[in-house]
């Protein structure tokens, strides 16, 4: 019974925190928009996640806009819309946000919303990795490991995998 009450208190506490984040986000607090979007994502609430990232993007937050771009690209909680996604990801990458560059690299690599272009994928994965995106480092490492769009280079792949690990991609540690 104590465990059930503790879980209920945790759920109610998380819901109250998201409500507080939404009020602050709606009032123009970009940090609250980010906090709310992360909490909604952790809770698996795509509708609330989209609400937070749309508002954050409306406020000009590059992270929120990039997250919105990726949600349009993959159709998270809405129909996929690459025409809306790609400009948001390009803008985030142009502003130095590594995750946006990495996601743009993924779009080039998979041909999602863009023509498949491994050279452009590698370029954007490099920008993403340099900008602190662990998944971008991992993906670029995989390209070097396989010689896919770049010269095969096992040593370079290993260095990129180590960097990805340092940036939190636990599966490579």
Q: What is the pLDDT of residues 57-67, one digit of tens each?
A: 999 999 999 99
What DSSP assignment string belongs to the chain?
-HHHHHHHHHHHHHHHHHHHHHHHHHTT-HHHHHHHHHHHHHHT-HHHHHHHHHHHHHTT-HHHHHHHHHHHHHTTTS---HHHHHHHHHHHHHTT-HHHHHHHHHHHHHTSSS---HHHHHHHHHHHHHTT-HHHHHHHHHHHHHTSSS---HHHHHHHHHHHHHTT-GGG-
**Residue 92 — pLDDT band, cuts 50, 70, 90?**
very high
Q: What is the pLDDT of residue 10?
A: 31
Q: What is the pLDDT of residue 15?
A: 58
In Å, what is the CA distance from 23 to each residue of 60, 149, 171? 17, 46, 37
Question: Per-residue pLDDT averaged across 19-28, rounded?
Answer: 90
Question: Per-residue pLDDT averaged across 66-93, rounded?
Answer: 95
Give CA–CA dist 136/8, Å, rounded.
38
Summarised one tens digit per residue, pLDDT across range 97-124 is 999 999 999 999 999 999 999 999 999 9
- The answer to whether the beta carbons of residues 149 and 122 sit under 8 Å apart is yes
Full-model pTM? 0.86
């Amino acid at each position: 019974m104590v465990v059930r009450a503790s879980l209920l208190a945790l759920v109610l506490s998380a819901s109250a925190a998201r409500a507080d984040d939404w009020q602050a986000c709606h009032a123009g607090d970009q940090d609250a928009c980010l906090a709310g979007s992360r909490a909604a994502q952790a809770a698996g609430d795509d509708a609330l996640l989209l609400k937070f990232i749309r508002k954050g993007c409306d406020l000009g937050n590059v992270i929120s806009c990039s997250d919105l771009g990726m949600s349009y690209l993959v159709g998270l909680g809405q129909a996929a819309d690459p025409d809306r996604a790609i400009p948001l990801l390009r803008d985030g990458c142009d502003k130095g946000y590594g995750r946006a560059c990495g996601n743009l690299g993924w779009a080039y690599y998979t041909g999602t919303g863009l023509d498949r272009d491994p050279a452009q994928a590698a370029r954007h994965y490099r920008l993403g990795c340099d900008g602190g995106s662990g998944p971008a480092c991992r993906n670029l490492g995989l390209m070097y490991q396989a010689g896919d769009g770049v010269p095969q280079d096992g040593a370079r792949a290993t260095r990129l995998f180590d960097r990805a690990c340092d940036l939190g991609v636990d599966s490579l540690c």
